[in-house]
């Protein structure tokens, strides 16, 4: 495991004297699946570190806490907050702002907070279509066509529910973020590295990299970590992994026609998926220098397609069954376009075919 | 408090901020819509074709802003997405005719990226006709001018893209969404 490189140009950050008590820690889940919390709870690697060095102030996944308790702690009194999940509704946004205020270091933890991740694919659909799919869609038994209401008068008083945001946003699209830790979820060993670095920094024995840095990952691509043999690629057809009878155990998956997102994806996971014959799907997000993850990947895929006739190129491209899912599975909310036009204007533009994969 | 975050220094991502703002006339009341077109042109053919159109005094619509690349194969899909995100209503990519590429076959690389990009923007709700590819040699100033005119009219018919319309909207009460549908 390589140490996280600390650039020599880091501005000097005087660290506080060793604290008499443990450092204060919080973790929150906004629009997330809880996998990031599980990754931190992974007893083998990370939890002992949290327990040894941190006092947990607020962590809804593992202990009871009320938002009022969090509001009551002094501003900037939490040393580090790991914020997992993206901003889907007004509750997520309020907690993002509250935790920003209460935290000295706010970390966008995991792909949802950093890039939108799978929940970000909701940015393909207008709000009304999302609600329709959730409350009227296949498998939903809702004979009275009930929808969640923002405000409800109950006998005991007025109740309210969070408001759905028109578009899903990443944490740093809502509040300033100090660091990001990519991954879906981040690898436990990398989380341990990050927490160890933070402890060292809080105790004045190390310096943190410049604000805005990515922690717990490398600076290159998954391909650089992947032990598979890479040659000159000539793709004459793309194949979905379930259609491949046997996978060459040593050859680059993309070279075998299996769409693998390694060329655009940040390293840090030790190429876990390609190692076991599954293509990289891009959970560690864009590599250094990549402005738009999908664009980088489109560039890489189109370059190795072995055809010059438009009809033949189209036939090969037909093998990528779901282009947005392939190129933006984790990064749609953080991409240059950020969302489909339908989601932005609230309905499907006239004259366009229904979008594949999106709720309509 | 020394660990408290200082303002974030500029990163590579900051340069991704769209340089082009929404077209000034897009949606303005009482002003006819003038589409904004970004054209990525090859140094060896179509950029010179545009020059030729100029010296030959061939007129083409002023809606297009040409950006010179060394080759259609230099077209990074990021350029196209950034143009759309930054307020362009259409994007034109040009290159040398098949077989004439200054770099042998890199214009085919541009062709493949263009065909893949069209699929992706269509899936994101941007009409494929907003992204067009034109082959034009350095001698074809009249052809390039004609194609620019054609694309401008096709994009004009599609109307403004208004890519960022909803990003700044506040959260929607579910009841209001229900009422709107």
Res A347: pLDDT: 62
Whether B77 and A292 lie within 8 Å, measured CB to CB? yes
List the one residue out of A198, A180, A185 whose CA is nearest residue A269.
Answer: A185
Please tell me which of the candidates B4, B82, B117 has its beta carbon nearest to residue A104: B4
Structure tokens at A227: 């032990």
Q: If you average pLDDT over residues A343-354, what whole number do you get? A: 62
More confidently predicted of A289 and A17: A289
Residue A137 inside a domain? The answer is: no
Residue B94: exposure state from Cβ atoms within 10 A (0-12, 13-18, ≥19):
buried
Mean pLDDT of chain A: 89
Is there a contact between B123 and A323 if contact means CB atoms under 8 Å apart? yes
A17-31, A214-228, A257-271: lowest mean pLDDT where? A17-31
Look up the CATH number of the domain holding residue A173.
3.40.50.700
User: How large is the ipTM?
Assistant: 0.87
pLDDT on residue B3: 46
A101 and A71 part of one domain: yes
Query: How many domains are there within chain A?
Result: 2
Residues of chain B neighbouring A313 (CB-CB closer than 8 A): 111-112, 115
User: What confidence tier does A348 reach under pLDDT thresholds 50, 70, 90?
Assistant: low
Candidate from A298, A345, A348 with C-beta closest to B120: A298
Asked whether residue A259 is domain-assigned, the answer is yes
Sheet (strand A54-58) strand order? A54-58, A23-29, A78-84, A103-109, A179-181
Whether the per-residue pLDDT at A329 is higher than 60: the answer is yes
Whether the per-residue pLDDT at A260 is higher than 70: the answer is yes
pLDDT for res B18: 42
pLDDT digits (tens, 9 = 90+) for A41-100: 988 778 888 888 999 999 999 999 899 999 999 999 999 999 999 999 999 999 999 999
The string of pLDDT tens digits covering residues A174-215 is 999 999 999 999 999 999 999 999 999 999 999 999 999 999
The three-state secondary structure class of B13 is: helix
Which of B111, B127, B162 is the closest to A313 by Cβ?
A: B111
CA nearest to B106 within chain A = A303
**Is A17 a member of any domain?**
no
Contact at CB, A298 and B77, closer than 8 angstroms = yes
| Cα–Cα distances in angstroms (integers) from residue B81 to residues A40, A334, B65, B109, in the given order | 36, 13, 16, 17
Candidate from A105, A201, A336 with C-beta closest to B5: A105
Which of A1, A109, A119 has the alpha carbon at shortest distance from A61? A109
pLDDT-derived band at A15 (thresholds 50, 70, 90) equals very low
pLDDT at A16: 44
Q: Which of B1, B4, B5 to mutate to test the interface with A (most CBs of A within 10 A)?
A: B5
Which of B21-32 are b and which e, b meaning 16 or more Cβ less than 10 Å from the residue's Cβ? ebbeebeeeeee
A104 to B3: CB separation less than 8 angstroms, yes or no: yes
Same domain, A321 and A193: no
Backbone angles phi, psi at A314, to 5 degrees: -60, -40
Residues A246 and A302 in one domain: yes
pLDDT on residue B22: 45
Residue A56 belongs to what domain range?
Answer: 23-119+167-202
pLDDT at A160: 87
CB contact under 8 A, A211 and B5: yes
Q: Are residues A175 and A37 in the same domain?
A: yes
Q: Do B172 and A211 touch (CB under 8 A)?
A: no
CATH architecture of residue range(s) B33-180: 3-Layer(aba) Sandwich (3.40)
B82, closest residue in chain A (CA to CA): A336
pLDDT digits (tens, 9 = 90+) for B61-75: 999 999 999 999 999
Q: Which regions of chain B are under pLDDT 70?
A: 1-30, 163-181
Query: In this structure, are A286 and A250 located in the same domain?
Result: yes
Mode of pairing for the β-strands spanning A87-89 and A54-58: unpaired
Question: Of all residues in chain A, what percent carry a pLDDT higher than 70?
Answer: 90
Average pLDDT of the residues in A151-165: 90
As to burial, measured by CB atoms within 10 angstroms (0-12 exposed, 13-18 middle, 19+ buried), residue A146 is exposed
Mean pLDDT confidence for A100-121: 97
Q: Is the pLDDT of residue A357 over 80?
A: no
Round to whole Å and give the CA distance between A251 and B138. Answer: 43
Q: Where do the domains of chain B lie?
A: 33-180
Same domain (yes/no): A258, A296: yes
């Amino acid at each position: 495991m390589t140490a996280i490189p600390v650039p020599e140009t880091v501005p000097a950050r005087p660290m506080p004297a060793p604290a008499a008590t443990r450092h204060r820690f919080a973790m929150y889940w906004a629009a997330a699946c809880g996998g990031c919390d599980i990754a931190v709870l992974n007893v083998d690697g990370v939890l002992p570190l949290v327990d040894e060095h941190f006092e947990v102030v607020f962590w809804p996944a593992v202990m009871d806490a009320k938002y009022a308790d969090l509001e009551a702690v002094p501003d900037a009194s939490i040393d580090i907050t790991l914020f997992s999940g993206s901003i889907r509704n007004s509750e997520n946004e309020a907690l993002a702002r509250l935790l920003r205020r209460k935290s000295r270091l706010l970390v966008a933890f995991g792909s949802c907070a950093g890039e939108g991740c799978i929940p970000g694919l909701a940015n393909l659909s207008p709000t009304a279509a999302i609600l329709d799919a959730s409350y009227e869609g296949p498998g939903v038994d809702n004979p009275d066509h009930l929808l969640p209401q923002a405000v409800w008068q109950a006998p005991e008083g007025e109740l309210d529910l969070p408001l759905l945001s028109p578009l899903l946003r990443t944490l740093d699209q809502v509040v300033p973020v100090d660091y990001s830790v990519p991954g879906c979820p981040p690898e436990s060993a990398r989380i341990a590295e990050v927490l160890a670095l933070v402890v060292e920094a809080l105790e004045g024995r190390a310096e943190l990299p410049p604000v805005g840095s990515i922690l717990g990952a490398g600076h290159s691509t998954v391909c650089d970590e992947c032990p598979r043999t890479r040659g000159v690629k000539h793709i004459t057809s793309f194949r979905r992994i379930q259609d491949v009878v046997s996978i060459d155990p040593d050859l680059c998956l993309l070279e075998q026609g299996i769409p693998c997102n390694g060329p655009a994806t940040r390293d840090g996971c030790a190429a876990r998926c390609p190692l076991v014959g599954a293509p990289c799907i891009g959970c560690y997000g864009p590599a250094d220098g990549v402005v738009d993850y999908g664009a980088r990947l489109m560039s890489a895929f189109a370059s190795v397609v072995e055809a010059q006739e438009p009809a033949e190129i189209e036939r090969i491209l037909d093998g990528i069954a779901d282009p947005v899912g392939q190129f933006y599975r984790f990064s749609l909310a953080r991409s240059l376009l950020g969302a489909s036009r339908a989601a932005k204007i609230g309905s499907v533009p006239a004259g366009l075919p229904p979008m594949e994969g999106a709720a309509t | 408090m020394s660990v408290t975050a200082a303002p974030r220094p500029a990163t590579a991502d900051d340069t991704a901020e769209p340089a082009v703002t929404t077209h000034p006339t897009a949606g303005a009341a009482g002003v006819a819509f003038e589409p904004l077109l970004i054209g990525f042109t090859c140094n060896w053919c179509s950029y010179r074709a545009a020059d030729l159109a100029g010296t030959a005094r061939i007129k083409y619509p002023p809606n297009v802003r040409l950006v010179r690349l060394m080759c259609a194969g230099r077209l990074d899909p990021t350029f196209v997405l950034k143009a759309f995100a930054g307020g362009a209503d259409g994007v034109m990519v040009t290159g040398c005719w098949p077989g004439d590429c200054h770099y042998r076959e890199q214009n085919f690389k541009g062709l493949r990226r263009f065909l893949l990009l069209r699929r992706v923007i269509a899936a994101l709700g941007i009409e494929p006709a907003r992204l067009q590819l034109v082959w034009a040699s350095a001698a074809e100033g009249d052809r390039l001018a004609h194609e620019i005119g054609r694309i401008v009219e096709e994009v004009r018919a599609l109307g403004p893209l208004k890519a960022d319309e909803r990003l700044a909207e506040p959260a929607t009460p579910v009841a209001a969404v229900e009422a709107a549908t």
